[in-house]
Structure 1
Amino acid sequence: MRKIITYASLCFLSLLVFACEPMEDRMELGNAITADQLEITAVPIIVNGKKSNKVILDNKSPVLSSWDFGVGSTQKKTDTVLLVTTGTNEILFTGLNPEGTKITKKIDVTVDELTFPVPLEWGYLTDGSERTWKWDETAPAVWGNGGYLGNSAPAWWTLKEADINGQVAGEGVGAKMTFSLRGAKLTKLKSTGAKEQGEFSFDMTKIVKLDDGTTWAKGKLTTRGITVLCGISPNEGNAPVYQYDIIILNNEKMILSYAEPGAGPWGTAWFWVFRAE
């Protein structure tokens, strides 16, 4: 009888030991693939027998996706994007393997025609490749504040180009910024020689109209990781400004504005006045 009890006790203890051992649910990492093994495509939508400027991107590979299509980027596995130039467009794909290594591959896509509308502002801002902008020293003022929906340039407290360094060092006389079509890149070159780089995008549906129906702002320019020259809001502790109403943008001139939070008609807005170099 004692042997039976001892045997039963040992069995019970062994069950406790096994029950206390941690159970791990591990996800095994897949094997890393090379760029040659990528299964990716970039196919233009065909309209009336021609390759349009809308392109379907598709990644069937076991990697995370990052597509750079020249005027923007997307991290979706499958996406439809808009290209803004005819001819050969280069698309750069970067894949992230499960164990952390990156692989890249380029795809050339031919666009026959701009079937889908492209904002003219891409051409104005980048000249089809890149364009450099500087303060418009011929204007009465290049930066300052004025009335939201009331003014279209600095009108109250105004500064000339020579005064800008007092607001942001290196961003006055001699400072420039270059908008590049490839990657929608914005590069700011300070008068000190220092460089900063970020990205930009447009939303030309963000039109601001006055009560009489006339257009005050034709769209919105957004920057990421960078501001335009002297892109600050003084009454908000010199906070960086990343979104700007587009008052004027053509081949020669650009005027941007930023309204302080809560500003109504004739509330405080800030204005930037640039010209193409």
Structure 2
Amino acid sequence: MKVNKIIGLWGSVLILLFSACQPIEDREELENTTDADGVKLVATQATAGGNLVELSMETLGVTGYWDFNLGKGLTDRIEIVYPIPGATTFTYVGTLGGEFFSKTIDVQIDTLDHALNQDWYDLVSEETSVGKTWVFAGGPGADGGKWWYMSPPDDPASWETAWWNAAGDCCPPGDAAGKMHFDLDGAGNYTYYSDTDVEGETGSFVLDVANQTLQVNGSNILGAEQGNPAGLYTIISLTEDELILYLANNAGGTGWTWVFKPE
């Protein structure tokens, strides 16, 4: 009798162990609530052809964010004062439930009838389609000034600290006599000149006012030989008369600071 009880007990234990080892399968799968064609995007301009634009995604069961080229709006509905005239494409990126998707909507902006953030005017001038040219605030030879120098890494607050005043002491960059031009003539246009008498190299730029960053694509800024392939810089100062950029970690593992002035 005791043997039968022991055998029965061990049998129960083995059943419990076997059951515990079985994987718990959740066979519930996410399903799309619609398809990309069924997602409704709406762009509403406050005035005909104006640059105050409301972007909205109006389909239930869809979530995501707006990419408006100069930043992202992490909601289904955003209002922006867009700084660039011309035909513009805005993108909504989201999920249908079971898969991700992106969809675009085109907007024609004919006039900048709503004022931009002052940073835009400081960078490209109030004649936004004409633009503005920036040069180093010193040089082109070593002149004792602080306009291109090594700084502590990963600390924008330490931008004024010069671990090595490269341009001021001995070693200005090879393009110290060059210039950079920014304009909004149909797009965020950027042109780099390594010297005063050379052909410009074209690229593009994105000014992120909210996060105070400047992204340069397809080209370099002056003095970029310190290494920054990503082209993203922290804005320390942007006024009508001054542009100061900082890089937290360059190719050499230090920080770096650039000081520019209008041409």
Match of 1:272 in 2: 260
Evaluate the alpha carbon distance shift between residue 22 and residue 168 of structure 1 in structure 2; reply closer, same or farther with a 3 A threshold. Answer: farther
The equivalent position to 2:176 in structure 1, one of 168, 172, 179, is 172
After TM superposition, list the pairs within 5 Å mapping 1:125-140 onto structure 2: 125=124, 127-129=127-129, 131=131, 133=133, 135=135
Q: Hey, what's the Cα distance between the residues in 2 that align with 1:45 and 1:186?
A: 29
Deviation string for 1:115-157 (max 9, x for gaps)?
x532466357174446463538xx98569438xxxxxxxxxx9
Preserved CA contact (<8 Å) 2:119 2:238: no
**2:240 is matched with which residue?**
248
Is the deviation greater in 17-26 or in 4-13?
4-13
Q: Considering only aligned residues, what root-mean-square deviation do their CA atoms show, in Å?
A: 5.2
Secondary structure of the structure 2 residue equivalent to 1:16 = helix
Q: Any stretches of 5+ residues in structure 2 without a counterpart? A: 148-164, 227-231, 247-256
Give 2:71's aligned residue: 73
Q: Is the 8 A contact 1:42 1:109 kept in 2?
A: no
Distance in 2 (alpha carbons) for counterparts of 1:273 and 1:29: 55
1:108 maps to 2:107: yes
SS at 2:240's partner residue?
strand
2:116 partner amino acid: V
Q: Secondary structure at the match of 1:242?
A: strand
1:223 corresponding residue in structure 2? 214
Percent of paired sites with the same residue: 15
CA distance in 1, matches of 2:56, 2:31: 20
Q: Distance in 2 between matches of 1:21 and 1:189?
A: 67
TM superposition shift of 1:175: 5.2
1:159-184 deviations in Å (ceiling 9; x for gaps):
79xx99x4334x33455444446664
Using a 3 Å threshold, how does the CA distance of structure 1 residues 27 and 185 change in structure 2: closer, same or farther? Answer: farther
Partner of 1:215: none
2:229 maps to what in 1? none
- Offset from partner CA, 1:163-219 (integer Å, 9 cap, x none): 99x4334x334554444466646564656987775522447xxxxxxxxxxxxxxxx
Aligned to 1:265: none
Secondary structure of 1:104's aligned partner:
strand
Say which SS state the counterpart of residue 200 (structure 1) adopts. strand
1:132-211 equivalences under 5 Å are 133=133, 135=135, 141=139, 144-145=145-146, 166-169=171-174, 171-174=175-178, 176-180=180-184, 184=188, 186=190, 188=192, 190=194, 198-202=205-209
SS in structure 1 at match of 2:90: strand
TM-score, normalized by length of structure 2?
0.53
User: 2-side partners of 1:130 and 1:10: how far apart?
Assistant: 86
SS in 1 for 2:214: strand
Q: Which amino acid aligns with 2:176?
A: G
Secondary structure of the structure 1 residue equivalent to 2:124: helix
Distance 2:166 2:20 in 1: 76
Structure 1 residue aligned with 2:22: 21
- Maintained 8 Å contact 1:183/1:199: no
Tell me by how many angstroms 1:96 deviates: 4.6
- What's the TM-score, normalizing by structure 1? 0.51
Range moving further from structure 2, 75-84 or 222-231 = 222-231
In the alignment, the residues of structure 1 paired with residue 41 and residue 206 of structure 2 have an alpha-carbon distance, to the nearest angstrom, of 25
1:58 aligns to what SS in structure 2? Answer: strand
TM-aligned CA deviation for residue 90 of structure 1: 2.2
Give ranges in structure 1 of 5+ residues lacking alignment. Answer: 147-156, 204-219, 234-239, 250-254, 260-268
Distance 2:244 2:112 in 1: 34
Distance in 2 (CA, whole Å) between partners of 1:221 and 1:14 is: 63
